[in-house]
Structure 1
C-alpha cells in the first residue's frame, strides 16, 4: 500500500494467530469484505493451529448484514446414520474422548462454502489456495501449538498419521520448529480446484471414510453426502441497553444469553454493573452456575429435544436466577464436584467487520486439543472429536443417536445497539465459552476498552470439556493468578472450592473482539492467552 496517499478504513479483524490475521488484513486491503477476510483467516488457522481447528472439524457462524440483520450458519455435523446405539452402549459405560468413534461428520468446509456463496465477494478457492501454499511451504510451530503437543503427546503417539505429522526423532515438535503438511496441502489444493464436493462424497471423503471404518467407525460416504448446513435465526438478549445475539439449536449460545439476562436484572437491582473481579464475584458465579446447569440438562439436537425458549430465556426464569444469586442460593449440585478438564486447545474464534456494515463471528473447532488425535494418512486431515459430547444416558437431551447432532460448545456472538451492529465477539473455551463471553460483556459494560476487556483476569467455573480430568484439577472454580486476591476469598466464602491457575492460562479462553469505535472507525483486540493479532486495514482512497 502507498502510505503517501490518504486511505480509508476498510475493516478490522482479530484472530488467535498472527499469520491468520495477516491473511485477513491482506484480503481487506485488496478489496475483500469481512466475510472474505474471515474465510482467509479460517483456512490459514486449520493449517497453523491444528491443536484447535481443522477442515476435519465443525463451524458455526453469525453473519451481520449491512441492514443490521443477523443470520446463523450452523455447520455442525451428525453422527453416523447407521450407528447401532445399543451395540455401542453395550461395549462401554461412557463416550470415548479420542479415537474414530468420536468423529461426527465434519462441517467446516460446508459452512465456509455457505458463507462464501451467500455473503462473500471472492470464491472460497482463494482462501483454500493460500492455506495450501502455507501448508506446503512450512511454518514455525506456535507456542500454543507446542503446549498442546506436549500435553497430548501420548494420545497423538497412538495414531500412525499423527506420529508422521507431529513427531520428529521420537518426540513431538517444539515451539519454533518447522512444521510442513504436504498431504494436507495437496488436499487443500484439490478442494480449491475441484470444490468441496470432493470432501462430501468425492475422492477425498471416500479416503477419509475408509480410514475411519478401518478403525471401527460407522460413518460412511452417504453420511458425508447427506450433510447440510442449516440457516437459522439467532436468539437475543438485552444487557445494559445493548442487544447480544448468539446461536441456538445445539449451540450453547442460548445459555450465555440466559446468564446475560439474569446479570442485567442483577444490575438493575444493584444500580450498577456487577463486577466479576470485585465484591460481586459470588453473585456472578451463581448466575453462571445456573446457566451451566441448564445447559447440561437441556442441550442437544433440537430436532430430537426441542428447546422451550420461553423456559430458558423467559422473564420468569431470568428473574428467578437473579433473585437466587442475590440471596446467596446454593451452588448448583452438578457443579459442586465438577472437575476442570485440562486438555489444551479446542477452538478458534475469528471476528471481522468492514466499512460497508458487514460483521462476522466465526467459530471453528477440533473440540479437544487435536480433536480425536486421528490424522488420516491419505489426506493429511486431522479429525475432530465432537462426538465426545454425546452421552449414553437413555432419554437425555444429548443422548447419542444415529444421525443426531451432538451438544455443541461453539457459540458466536454479535452485538447491536439501536438496530446497528457494533460488535463481533468470539472465544475459545469449550463448555466455559458462555462464562468467558459473560466476563467480556461485563468488562465492556464496566467501561473497559477492547484491549483491557480481552486481557482482564478471569475465573472459570466447572468442567470445561467432556472426558476424564486429572485428580489435581478437581476444583469448582479456577481463578487466574493475577486476579485480585480478595476474589478467591469471596468465592470460597460463598461455598465454592477455589483453585489457582497461572495468569493468562489457556483454560481461561482466547477471546477475540472487534467493536465499532465511531463513524468509519473500529477497535480490535486479541487475547494475550493466544498467539494472535488484531488490527484494522486501510485501502487507498484514490
Structure 2
C-alpha cells in the first residue's frame, strides 16, 4: 500500500487521490495496462466505498478528459430535479430548499458518468474497477482519519436515518478511526452494476429501490426521471494566466466563475501585481475571488453564462476597488467532494470530481442498496425570477469544477479540489503558487485561506469572512483584513480549506515526459508515478 505518499516524481503514469486505497486501485489498473481513464475510474469506484461521507454511487460527477492532441472534453453527469415536482407546493412549505431528506435529492449521475467515460476513452471494462470496489465493500475497509472526522461532524444526521445509523454505529457508538466498515448491501449493488452496467441504476432494480425510498419520503422522483437521465459532453473552456491556459467547465458548474477570477488575476499580474496570496497582495486576491463568488451566487443556473462572465468588460470590473464585500446566508454545511487526477504517457489526462455535496448528502442511506443519496438539489433557490429556481427536469447550480492545464497546445497538468463553494479559491491558490515556481507538493501543502461559505438563497447578510489556516503569514492576514474582510483563524492542516491534488508534466533531457504528482497532506491520500526518479 502507498500509505500516504505525499508526492512522487517519475515517468510512465501518475495518479493523485485523497485516499491511499483509491490511489492503489488506480496504480494496479495502470500496472495491468489500463490508461488514465481506467485508472481514474478504479479510484472513483474505490472512493465510493472508503469515503461514503464524501461521495457515493448516489451522487454526481463532472470530469475533464484531455487527449494527446490537446483537446479537453467535459463530461457532465450531474442529475436533474424530478419532472413532477410541484415547486409552488415546495415553496409553500419551505422558505429555503431543505438540506436533508428527499426533496434535495436529484437523479444521481455518478454511474452514468463512470460508464460513458469507460466506453468513450477506457481500454478496460468498467466491471474491472467495480469488482475491486465490490470486494472492498464486502470484505471491509478501515475507517480512515478523514471518514472518522466526517462521522464526527454529522452525528445528528447519522442518528436520524435508520440506514446511516445501522451502517456507522455499533452498539450505539459511532465508528472510530481504525474500525472496520463493511457494506454488504453496497457490495451487492456494485456487483449488479458490474453485470448490468448503468442500466441497473437508470432502468433497473437499483433505481427502483431509490425511487421507492424517495417517494415514501415525499419526493416526486420517478423511474421516468431516472430513465431520462443523460450525460452531456462539451469542450472545456480555457483562459490564460502567465504562460499557461487553465481549462474548466461551464453550464451549471461554477468552473466558469473560477475562470473569470483567473482572467481578472491575469490583468492584475500584467499590471505588475505580485499576486502572492500569502503576502501583502492577499487582500487584492481575496477581493477578486469574493467578486467571483458573489457573481456565482447571483447568476449560476442551468443556462450557460460563460460568455458574459468571461467578457472583457466584466472581468475588468472584477479588478476594481469595491465596497467591503458581503455575502448573504447562514453558514454552509460542511461540503464533501473527492477529486481524482490521473495522467499517462500516451497523453491522456483526467480531472474527475464526484460528490454527495454535504457530508453524507441528504442524510438518506437507501437500506436495500446501501447507497447514500446526495443532496445536490439543496443548491436550488425557491425565489421567483432566480436563474437557479427549482424546476422539474432542471440541473441545480453545481460546485464540482475539474481543472486541466494546457501549455503550447498540449495538456501539462491536472488539478482537482475538495472544498464545495471554496473550490475556485483553492484552485486559485494552486494557480498562483505554481506560476510562482512552487513544486506540486509545495502548492498543495502550503497553508491557505478561503472565503467562508454560505448556503445559496441565504436568509441573512454579513460581511464576508475569510478562514485563515494556521501558518498563513500575518502580513497576508492583515492584507485580507484591510480589504474589508473579517478574519477567522483556523488550526493547522484544517479540512475547512479543502483538499487539493495536482499532477504536472515536463520533459527531461531525453525528451521523455516526467510527471510530478502530489496529494494534499490534509487528506488520507497518496500520489504515485509509474517509475519514480530521484529529484
Alpha-carbon distance in structure 1 between the residues aligned to 2:388 and 2:458: 18
1:495 — aligned with what?
484
2:353 counterpart SS class: strand
The corresponding residue for 1:296 is: 297
Q: 1:512 aligns with which of 501, 523, 528?
A: 501
User: What's 1:480 paired with?
Assistant: 469
Tell me, which stretches of 5 or more residues in structure 2 are unaligned? 1-9
The Cα offsets for residues 471-500 of structure 1, whole Å up to 9 and x where unpaired, read as: 9x9961110011112222222122111111
- Residues of 2 paired with 1:281 and 1:340: CA distance? 23
Q: What is the CA-CA distance between 1:468 and the residue it aligns to?
A: 8.3
CA–CA separation in structure 2 for the residues paired with 1:477 and 1:247: 25
How far is 1:344 from its partner? 3.7
Match of 2:451 in 1: 461
What corresponds to 1:278 in structure 2?
A: 279
2:417·2:501 contact (CA, 8 Å) conserved in 1?
yes
Offset from partner CA, 1:33-72 (integer Å, 9 cap, x none):
0000000000000000111100100000000012111100
Q: Deviations over 1:241-281 (max 9, x none)?
A: 201000100000000000000000000112x5410110101
CA RMSD of aligned residues (A): 1.8
Among candidates 498, 518, 532, match of residue 525 of structure 2: 532
Number of the residue aligned with 1:313: 310
Aligned counterparts of 2:71 and 2:369: Cα–Cα separation in 1: 38
Q: How far off is 1:237 after superposition?
A: 0.5
For residue 456 of structure 1, report the CA deviation from its aligned partner. 1.1
Contact map agreement 2:470 2:490 (CA 8 A) in 1: yes
Other structure's SS at 2:103 match:
helix
* 1:105-504 map, 5 Å: 105-270=107-272, 272-302=273-303, 306-307=304-305, 309-322=306-319, 324=320, 328-333=321-326, 335=327, 340-341=331-332, 343-463=333-453, 465=455, 476-504=465-493
Contact 1:412/1:425, CA 8 A, preserved across alignment:
yes
Give the CA deviation at 1:10: 2.4
Question: CA deviation digits over 1:187-234, x for unaligned, max 9?
Answer: 101110122101102011111111111111110111100000001121
Q: Is the contact made by 1:199 and 1:205 (CA closer than 8 Å) also made in structure 2?
A: yes
Conserved in 1, the CA contact under 8 Å of 2:329 and 2:456?
no
- TM-score of the two chains, using structure 2 as the length reference: 0.94
| Residue 462 of structure 1, CA deviation | 3.2
Whole-Å separation in 1 of the counterparts to 2:163 and 2:467: 35
The whole-number CA distance in structure 2 between the counterparts of 1:470 and 1:93 is 13
Deviation at 1:466, TM superposition (A): 5.1
Q: How many residues align?
A: 519
Structure 2 distance, partners of 1:451, 1:491, is 25
Q: Unaligned stretches of 5+ in structure 1?
A: 1-7
Kept after mapping to 2: 8 A contact 1:97/1:385: yes
| SS of alignment partner, residue 186 of structure 1 | helix
Question: In the TM superposition, what whole-angstrom CA distance separates every residue of 1:377-427 from its partner, at most 9, and x where no partner exists?
Answer: 010000000000001001111110111000000000000001010000000
> Does the Cα contact within 8 Å between 2:325 and 2:485 map onto a contact in 1?
no
CA distance in 2, matches of 1:345, 1:17: 17
Match of 1:311, SS? helix
Q: CA deviation at 1:332?
A: 3.1
